[in-house]
Each structure stands twice: as C-alpha cells, then as structure tokens.
Amino acid sequence: MVNLRGLKTAAIEALGIKIYIQEYLTNAFCGTHLAHDGDSVYFHIKVGKGHALHKTVNKDKDTIDPPRVERLRWIKVFISGGVPNSECWLVPDPQSGETKRVYCSFGDGYVVWLGPRDAGGWKFESAYPCDTATLRGYLKRQGAKRVCVFPSEQPQLSSQSDSASSTIVS
C-alpha cells in the first residue's frame, strides 16, 4: 500500500494523481492495460482525478479518500486476475441498462468497477474499499453473474508493502 503517514490532504491528493498517471496512463490523457481475459481496459486522467481518489459526499466527488489512494496500485493487480480468491462479476446497472464488470475481494473488502466501451473493451470507472454487506448487495442485483474466481496459488499481495492486498476469503 502507498504510505500516506504524515501527509496532509493536499499532499495525499497530489501523490495520488502522480501515482495514477505513472501507473495507468501512457500519454497525458489515457492509458490501456489488459484485464484477466485479455480485454483492454482504458484509464483516463479525468477518472483518475475523480473516482480513483475521491469519495462521494452529498453527490459531489471532491473529498479525497486516503484509503483509495493507499490502494491505488491494487487496480491493475485486480483486473489482471492477480489477487488470489478474488472474483470477477458482470453486474447489470439498473440506471444505465449497461452491464458492468466488477472485480472484488470479500477478504480485502475492495472493488474495482469497469464500464463497457462502445468501441469494445472496458473503461475504468472506480475502485474503493467496500464492506462485505455492501459488496454482497451489489452482487445480489438481478442478473448479476460471476465470471470467474481467481486461484489462490497466485502470488499474494501484501498490505504491509507498496504492492497491495492480503489473502482473500469469500
């Protein structure tokens, strides 16, 4: 995890933006990484400065969320299937009618949301710590379907290090 100890809000936000740009963008505006199944996942600077770092308060996405910033590097590991016992689900969005992809870990209490792209592949939408009850609520939506569970023999992420996560139990 990213160490934020002693940093003030503005410094946490600046560090989060710097990490997002370094880890996910290949030019000033966007970048592409591969999901576990080889599908392309598109990352955009606007989402990185918004949903990747901030939580929603009163319908505004302007409150920096240190736990999101701490886990920012986890996103790539989750979408690539590198977190043992994590899962990938397809979840219908009742508001948009689209089917979204969610990577989740019940043990770590973490989710990564991807939305479909018109041109194919997926776009990164958000990632954040999430309690088990809320996570199960997302997955109970009518029509939600588990796509896969990632095996436990893969290398584990460490919440003590800069790389991320721990053993996951669903």
Express each pLDDT in 8-32 by its tens digit.
Answer: 999 999 999 999 999 999 998 999 9
| 157: in domain | no
- Average model confidence (pLDDT) across the chain: 86
pLDDT on residue 164? 33
Nearest to 89 by CA among 22, 4, 152, 148: 148
Question: What are the φ/ψ torsions at residue 52 (nearest 5 degrees)?
Answer: -70, -25
Domain assignment of residue 31, yes or no:
yes
Please give the pLDDT value at position 167: 28
Query: In this predicted structure, what is the pLDDT of residue 93?
Result: 86
Q: Domain count of the chain?
A: 1
Residue 54 lies in a domain: yes
Which tokens sit at 90? 């397809």
How confident is residue 41, by pLDDT bands cut at 50, 70 and 90? very high
Residue 141 pLDDT > 80, yes or no?
no
User: Which tokens in the block code for residue 34?
Assistant: 């591969």
What's the domain range around 31? 9-149
In a domain, 113, yes or no: yes
pLDDT of residue 124 exceeding 80, the answer is yes
Of residues 23 and 48, more confidently modeled: 23
- Prediction pTM value: 0.84
Q: What is the pLDDT of residue 60?
A: 62
Task: With respect to residue 56, please indicate whether it lies within any of the assigned structural domains.
Answer: yes
Residue in 22, 9, 138 with CA at minimum distance from that of residue 68: 9
CA dist 130 and 49 (Å) reads 20
Residue 110, token pair as written in the block? 């973490």
Query: In the prediction, which pLDDT does 151 show?
Result: 83
3 in any annotated domain: no
On whether residue 162 sits in a domain, the answer given is no
65-94, pLDDT tens digit by residue?
999 999 999 999 999 999 998 999 999 988
Alpha helices of 1-95 — where are they, by DSSP H? 9-24, 45-49, 66-70, 74-79
1 inside domain: no
- Cβ neighbours for 45, distance < 8 A, ≥ 6 positions apart: 20, 21, 25, 28, 29, 30
